[in-house]
Structure 1
């Protein structure tokens, strides 16, 4: 897809969608900057990327911290001299009803990672993306469109905000030749989803399958394929768009 020697930052790259996306970019010849908190898992992803003969950089960072965000952009530019693509994949989820005593704690933590970090990274990366006429792909969620699960007001709000920020940033950056889009998955078979239901004695994957019109759930590589398409010149006319890839979960919910 034309990513040879491109420089791609992927946050949340230690597992799930972020890891799959970084590996897919490396398969297409991109040099990847892998950002996450788990060093051991990042090294595993880096080894897979390296097997495709590309350069990589591991940055141990918590994107909820402003100094870490600054370090991500500064280290990337110092190492590679440019930024071509920014993929904001880092995300957290938290469960709390709006009346719970910990509701604001969950909200603040969720917004800091799922939305504020994206805004800040975009702010710092924008000048470099303008120089390369690069683009941004944000990993949002089908939960931005409809409330999939109860007691997830913070997560749903953060993703709805992320979609609107995507559109706002796309309009702002369009005259500079920079595109901004989001991918909105439904259930995806990742550790992130599984960990949310670890304490529940039931097969969460089977339950999620029954929630979709197609009777299946996605794997991270499927989401990564869509990310690469949106980041490529094949999508050069697409900006400010949010692509739902949920196996028809929203359709099923409406029946």
Structure 2
């Protein structure tokens, strides 16, 4: 399905990004994987090589999506090595705890730079190459882009912005044959909450509460999100663009709790 297709995935060193890379590798895609953690990124590269039917080795690029020079280098290395780009997966993202009463502008800038400005910049650079291949983009958003939640203000704002970015860019690139969609996961156990400042005890209680707040009675898995990303990037979704597809066990449809 993705043989001879070049797929660029940000935030590929762990979580949804790593599993998405492995699933693309199973389809023999030519992968460009980027992240900030060299050790973890190399682990993903080895897993992808093992999963690839042709034992293709992904191109790893250590880069920070927040830094303009890194984003420009990432795109340059992609095109220099593979001469084309077929799929861009804007997955890199961060979350931090904070309300309007106790957040800071530093936190706001950090979250918006990673979750919005980074994808914006990379998409700018990728668009001409995707137009040549009639490729597509999948943005990794969140149920927090569709629903409002207290205590993660900047994160919710960033994902709502990413959803609107998805819709606007889908209209702008449609005439070029480039599709743009987003996946909106619910709670996926990737460690993003713990890295964002949630304590171990609070996180455990939160996961237990998810049995009530998710219609299917459980959290999701990274592979479930990865499979949805592959679907949106495939010819099976050839008439889908501008969509924000929930992969959240029904969380978006539940009453607030």
TM (normalized to structure 1)? 0.95
* Equivalent position of 1:216 in the other structure: 218
Corresponding residue for 1:114? Answer: 115
Deviation for aligned residue 1:214 = 1.0
What is aligned with 2:61?
59
Mapped contact 1:20–1:220 kept (Cα < 8 A): yes
Please list every run of 5 or more consecutive structure 1 residues that lacks an aligned counterpart in the other structure: none
Asked whether the 8 Å contact 1:24–1:224 carries over to 2, the reply is yes
Residue 85 of structure 1 aligns with which residue?
87
Aligned to 1:248: 250
Q: What secondary structure is seen at the aligned counterpart in 2 of 1:58?
A: strand
How far 1:13 moved relative to its partner? 0.3
Task: Tell me, yes or no, if structure 1 residue 181 matches structure 2 residue 170.
Answer: no
Aligned match of 1:8: 7
Partner of 1:103: 104
Question: Over aligned residues, Cα RMSD in angstroms?
Answer: 1.4
SS in 2 for 1:32: strand
Please state whether the residue corresponding to 2:45 is helix, strand or coil: helix
Report the 3-state secondary structure (helix = DSSP H, G, I; strand = E; otherwise coil) of the residue aligned with 2:8: strand
Contact 1:15–1:191 (CA under 8 A) maintained in structure 2: no
Farther-moved stretch of structure 1 (102-111 vs 157-166): 102-111
Is there any run of 5+ residues in structure 2 with no aligned partner, and where? none
* 1:166 alignment partner in structure 2: 166
Aligned-partner SS, 2:139: strand
Deviation readout 1:3-36 (Å, 9 max, x if unpaired): 0011100000001100010110000010111110
Counterpart-to-counterpart distance in 2, 1:239 and 1:108: 29
Deviation at 1:98, TM superposition (A): 1.4
C-alpha distance in structure 1 between counterparts of 2:227 and 2:118, whole Å: 24
Measured after TM superposition, the shift of residue 253 of structure 1 is 2.8
Q: Is the contact made by 1:10 and 1:89 (CA closer than 8 Å) also made in structure 2? A: yes
Q: TM-score, normalised by structure 2?
A: 0.94
Q: Please give the secondary structure, in 1, of the residue aligned with 2:217.
A: coil
1:122-201 alignment runs, 5 A limit? 122-148=123-149, 150-196=150-196, 199-201=199-201
How far apart, in 2, do the equivalents of 1:85 and 1:139 lie? 13
Partner of 1:24: 23
Deviation at 1:198?
A: 5.2
**Residues 112, 196 of structure 1: alpha-carbon distance in 2 compared, 3 angstrom cutoff:** closer
Deviation of residue 230 (structure 1)?
0.3
SS in 1 for 2:31: strand
How far apart, in 1, do the equivalents of 2:211 and 2:148 lie? 17
Task: Please name the residue that 1:48 is paired with.
Answer: 47
